[in-house]
Structure 1
């Protein structure tokens, strides 16, 4: 058995970073002014933030099909028999299905699951899968361990720029306009609870109240913090990210909470000044 582990750029990893963890990498595409960029290869998250800051409205697409086909042709030549695949939620993208179809055509066995989310949780699961594969854990067992973590994970996202949500069909244009005028902040959830799609779990007045509420939702779910990983992310909103960290540290004490930027393909839809918290149960054996 020869095993490879693949992730996509929804993990926030670049191609080079993925390689450092022993991961193979497929970039999602970010389209700006009719030009397609390969996320994590020829577009960094800071460059994407700059585009948004200058008024561009990016769109996103799954990895180029030709790149997927080329990857699996290479696997076939190298004698790869099994692939563990960790991609962003199937509710957000058709990436997982497209990759599975390419593997099936070449007779390569796929081991995958819907992680129902993206961002830091996807990154953690992908890196964990690579570590387990390096320890010669069977691919079926890797997926079983990841599933236990996925079943105990959740994330909450707060966006200040409601126009981006409106463009993505998450809010009507009128709701976005009224929300901006009234300073209403929807708290968005992407998890197994929402079947991997973006859904509004609550609406509050002001960003500061939304941050407190998102943290309280995570705290309510995570009782024994030693069994979990916590992440705080933002798209150029360091102050609200720090506020979120303060709320979490007030509950859990001096623990490690990982800070990451909201990756390019997700920030394309949230806009700047978004902040998020995610938690996931630690993967067994990692």
Structure 2
């Protein structure tokens, strides 16, 4: 019987250097000027956000290098694993999924790839579920089916009051950014599962308070509930707005299992200071 390891990228927010048997993580790359840093190992999300706040600098992000992915897989092979399940950040945000396939082909290990259609909390919960099912002795095909069902019942909704970083990143035009800033519009966006997790605009509101409510409303509209789902509310140096989102959510659903923390830099770097996101994912159905 195959011994199965889980391969992921650092967008999942699992500590690369932590103890997590059977889980191997390759760092995403963070660019600043002419420098490139390895996520978690050489720079953290809070490092990026604090520098953005001080200087308004633009950061770029990219997938793990083929070498980093190969190292993670070779570490798994060294530890006795002979098959991989890859759970990367959404294909709509990164080419990491394709990179995993290339690396696996190079090190000659079979890999089954599952598009998380998200990152951060959603990705982390999928990884934890995969590891649990591996330990239960389930086959790769059984695990893939259950994880893909979890993906279908997950989502990520975000807003940013700062359009300059979206403009610099090429996600909106300068004209749209200028008009939005003049009118003080706050765009609310969603990772669209039909587009592989690409960012799609849900609407625009005039205040961050309305944006906070729209995030919570959209989660409820998507069918999430306190019994069967876990949630994460993550921000770019905007803890008050993050708490407001939680308050709106729990007004509608009652007490929920919610993780509160900073966004991963791979998302937050493109949103700018003040950005907030909420994620939800259905618990593993056994």
Preserved CA contact (<8 Å) 2:24 2:72: no
Aligned pairs for 1:72-151 (under 5 A) are 72-151=73-152
Aligned pairs for 1:12-27 (under 5 A) are 12-17=13-18, 19-20=19-20, 22-27=22-27
The verdict on how the C-alpha distance between 1:125 and 1:204 changes in structure 2, with shifts beyond 3 A counting, is same
Preserved CA contact (<8 Å) 1:31 1:58: yes
* Secondary structure of residue in 2 paired with 1:213: helix
TM-score normalised per structure 2: 0.93
* Secondary structure of residue in 2 paired with 1:84: strand
Q: 1:248: which partner in 2?
A: 249
Following the alignment from structure 2 to structure 1, what is the Cα–Cα distance between the partners of residues 256 and 94? 33
Q: Aligned pair 1:266/2:257, yes or no?
A: no
Q: Describe the superposition over 1:38-62 as per-residue Cα deviations: whole angstroms up to 9, x where unpaired.
A: 1011211211112211222111111
Q: Aligned pair 1:46/2:46, yes or no?
A: yes
Following the alignment from structure 2 to structure 1, what is the Cα–Cα distance between the partners of residues 137 and 241? 41
The structural deviation recorded for 1:277 is 1.1
The structural deviation recorded for 1:80 is 2.7
The structural deviation recorded for 1:224 is 4.0
* Secondary structure of residue in 2 paired with 1:175: helix
The structural deviation recorded for 1:131 is 2.2
Aligned pairs for 1:209-224 (under 5 A) are 209-222=210-223, 224=225
Following the alignment from structure 1 to structure 2, what is the Cα–Cα distance between the partners of residues 124 and 223? 15
Q: Describe the superposition over 1:211-261 as per-residue Cα deviations: whole angstroms up to 9, x where unpaired.
A: 111211111222543111122111110111111011011111122222121
The structural deviation recorded for 1:75 is 4.2
Following the alignment from structure 1 to structure 2, what is the Cα–Cα distance between the partners of residues 16 and 72? 15
Q: 1:174: which partner in 2?
A: 175
The structural deviation recorded for 1:16 is 2.4
Preserved CA contact (<8 Å) 1:117 1:191: no
TM-score normalised per structure 1: 0.93
* Secondary structure of residue in 1 paired with 2:227: helix
Aligned pairs for 1:149-164 (under 5 A) are 149-164=150-165
* Secondary structure of residue in 1 paired with 2:171: coil
Following the alignment from structure 1 to structure 2, what is the Cα–Cα distance between the partners of residues 243 and 117? 22
Following the alignment from structure 1 to structure 2, what is the Cα–Cα distance between the partners of residues 160 and 26? 31
Following the alignment from structure 2 to structure 1, what is the Cα–Cα distance between the partners of residues 225 and 54? 43
Q: Describe the superposition over 1:85-143 as per-residue Cα deviations: whole angstroms up to 9, x where unpaired.
A: 11101111111111112212333111122121212111211122122223322222121
The structural deviation recorded for 1:14 is 2.6
The verdict on how the C-alpha distance between 1:188 and 1:2 changes in structure 2, with shifts beyond 3 A counting, is same
Q: Which moved more, 1:93-102 or 1:72-81?
A: 72-81
* Secondary structure of residue in 2 paired with 1:225: coil
Structure 2: stretches of 5+ with no match in the other structure: none
Count of residue pairs the alignment pairs up: 284
Following the alignment from structure 2 to structure 1, what is the Cα–Cα distance between the partners of residues 270 and 90? 15
Preserved CA contact (<8 Å) 2:6 2:23: yes
Q: Describe the superposition over 1:147-205 as per-residue Cα deviations: whole angstroms up to 9, x where unpaired.
A: 00101111110011111111222211111111112111111111314431111111111
